Amino acid sequence: MEINNNDDISPKYDKKPDNLRNIKDVSELPHRILEWINMNSDGVFILADTDGKLIYVTTAIEKIIGYKVSELIGTYWYEKIPLKDVEYVRKQVREYPGDKKNVNINVLNNDGKYILLDCKFEQYVDGTDTYILAYLKDITYKKETEEMMVRSEKMTIAGQLAAGIAHEIRNPLTSLKGFLQLLQAGVSHKEEYFHVMIDEIDKIEAITSELLFISKPLTENRRKESVEQMIEDVIVLLQPQAKLKNIDLVVQQPIHGEIYCDRSQIKQVLINLVKNAIEAMHTVGKITLSVNCNHESVDVSIADEGNGIPDDILHKLGEPFFTTKQSGTGLGLLISKQILDSHNATLKIKQNKIKGSTFQLVFSK
């Protein structure tokens, strides 16, 4: 077919077809158009009654979990979700009634495997009837990518801490060797030596346990956790690196408060931030960790005595691969923010009045 350059073959977008001209609402669109939008959407819309029975599901569900809409209508939303995820969703509903919620849940597909979905839901009231409106989106690949980033950052941290930890372990090993030589020579006061040797072994065990923690994958096991205990664990791990730079890690007492969280994830955030604070200081000084617990939130603050963060780059912190360190990956803060977002927590960064910066974690109650 020959096309004349003067022929206009482009669609006429400035004029609606007669049957679409008076449409005022999306629901008034022809079935064929609605079906096209439905099939090409990345997410799924679900409507359930207050008992949890599914009364409407968009056909995009078939692409995500493989079940046909006809197989799901009349079933209950919690039937294909692990019990711990069901309890977590119900807890969110109890503690934050009426609010919009955003949770990650595992859903069983028709192959018998669980896939991770992002779920946004809220109550929808239509006259005297109340419904639950939810939007689901598959984030399995997104989660896998994030976990690869976390593992990479964990291994980087472990390598950077190795020198300080080796030095810290060598001291008690030297003591143990000395005491064993004394015992071998037949000295008295053996009981006293045994007590000291056990203390030295406990030090080694504490440090190696926290180092091994870094290599473990992040979990999804949330419960009430002591803020004080998590801070103590982080201090054990990072104290050797701080000592190498003559920096004191100071925990401001008293510390009260618990937060509902995944212990491994929040410890990872604390490790990232305290390690950053150590690296930001080029002279002798201290890093102060403090906790403020009030009716609305639990606030964990990490204040260093470094040069501070210039205002012109403050807003860039947390962007992928942005870093002020020569050997940095730029992923530490990004990962920390992602973890905090999943815990409905926020990170605030501010300049100290005299010198340095303060990173504050705010966990809503």
Mean pLDDT by 10 residues, the chain (365 residues): 39 43 51 62 82 88 88 92 88 76 87 88 82 85 67 68 72 79 74 78 77 68 90 89 91 88 89 88 92 91 84 54 48 77 87 88 89
pTM of the model: 0.51
Domains of the chain plus CATH, in order, are 18-138 (3.30.450.20), 143-364 (3.30.565.10)
Measured in whole angstroms, the distance separating CA 292 from the mean position of its chain's CA atoms is 21
Residue 45: predicted pLDDT? 86
In the three-class reduction of DSSP (H, G, I as helix; E, B as strand; rest coil), residue 13 is classed as coil
Separation CA 322–CA 327 (nearest Å): 12
Separation CA 187–CA 194 (nearest Å): 12
Residue 216: predicted pLDDT? 67
Residue 147: predicted pLDDT? 66
Separation CA 238–CA 263 (nearest Å): 17
Sign of the torsion formed by the C-alpha atoms of 38, 44, 49 and 54:
positive
Residue 32: predicted pLDDT? 66
Amino acid identity for residue 147 in this structure: E
